[in-house]
Amino acid sequence: MPVAGKVALITGGVGGLGKAFATALLQARAAAVCLVDINKRGEETAEELRKKFPTNQTVEFYECDVTDYNLFKGAFDFTEKKFGGIDIVCNNAGINALDHEIDKSIKAFRLNLEAVFLGTRLGQMYMDKSKGRGGGVIVNVASMAAFMPIENCMAYTGSKAGVVALTKVAASEASLEEYGVRVNCLCPSFTDTPILDYVEGTREAINMIPGHHILKPEFVAEGFMQLVEKEDLNGAIMRVTPQKGIDFYKDHKRVPSFSVAPSKL
């Protein structure tokens, strides 16, 4: 999909990776990006991006808790109404939690997994080609934690594994339900964003792992752009790691042995 002229909605768009994805889309001449985030400082980020890309491109901030279906749907309504349609959805908002933090762990499951499910369904509905919209692409942000568990972070690890699994189902629905919406999954390794400051000493610990270093958000954004642009990628599970760079989890093209076609909403 050529990104020029397209409209994108990014959850967690004010955070480290979300902002890097927005920047990469604007560099590729996306027409508009809506940053959907619970962080009230989002307007500052939107203004910063508007100044960086001053031509006819637009950046909007929409304050929203994406774990609330109706509020999240409001972000899709806003973006569609303001820009005339949506072509790219990135379900990126996520948090970490330690196992002894029960309330925070519940929030992590709700944000990292439930909200990704909601954003995937909303993306399918708001880009549904069979209902007269233009089709498009969804990128769900999981993590390498989906494959290599992070000790003491059950909610984070479990929710990210769930994102990989639900992406495979949504991808098979692209043709089954004729949505015309590709769905891919991005699994970065540790990346230099504020999430690494959640537990003190994380950065030092990562740098001590042999052969490991913390990735730059711009490098992860290169992988993100491939998942958006390459029309042959649907159900792709992309890894971004310091060891292998950008590659794919080997069973990314696996299709279900049987399919149950749910009736359309």
Ligand X SMILES: NC(=O)c1ccc[n+]([C@@H]2O[C@H](COP(=O)([O-])OP(=O)(O)OC[C@H]3O[C@@H](n4cnc5c(N)ncnc54)[C@H](O)[C@@H]3O)[C@@H](O)[C@H]2O)c1
Closer of 193 and 234 to ligand X (Cβ): 193
Please say whether the beta carbons of 221 and 24 come within 8 A: yes
Report which of 237, 235, 248, 225 is spatially closest to residue 1, judged by C-alpha positions.
225
**Structure tokens of 225?**
């752009």
Closer of 135 and 242 to ligand X (Cβ): 242
156 is catalytic: yes
Task: Identify the active-site residue in 62, 69, 126, 156.
Answer: 156
Rule CB under 6 A: say whether 18 interacts with ligand X: yes
Cα pseudo-dihedral 160, 77, 43, 11, rounded to 10: 10
**Alpha carbon separation from 253 to 135, 165, 248 (Å, rounded):** 21, 13, 10
Rule CB under 6 A: say whether 65 interacts with ligand X: yes
Report which of 75, 86, 19 is spatially closest to residue 47, judged by C-alpha positions.
19
**Structure tokens of 257?**
């042995």
Closer of 172 and 241 to ligand X (Cβ): 241
Closer of 217 and 235 to ligand X (Cβ): 217
Helix ranges (H only) for 32-183 are 42-52, 69-83, 102-109, 115-126, 154-176
Closest approach of ligand X to the CB of residue 122, in Å: 13
* Region binding ligand X by CB under 6 A among candidate stretches 24-32, 78-86, 90-98, 255-263: 90-98
Residue window 192-231: x/- pattern of binding to ligand X, with contact defined by CB under 6 A: -xxxx-----------------------------------
List contacts with ligand X (CB under 6 A). 11-12, 14-18, 37-39, 65-67, 92-95, 111, 141, 143, 188, 190-191, 193-196
Q: Which residues are catalytic?
A: 156
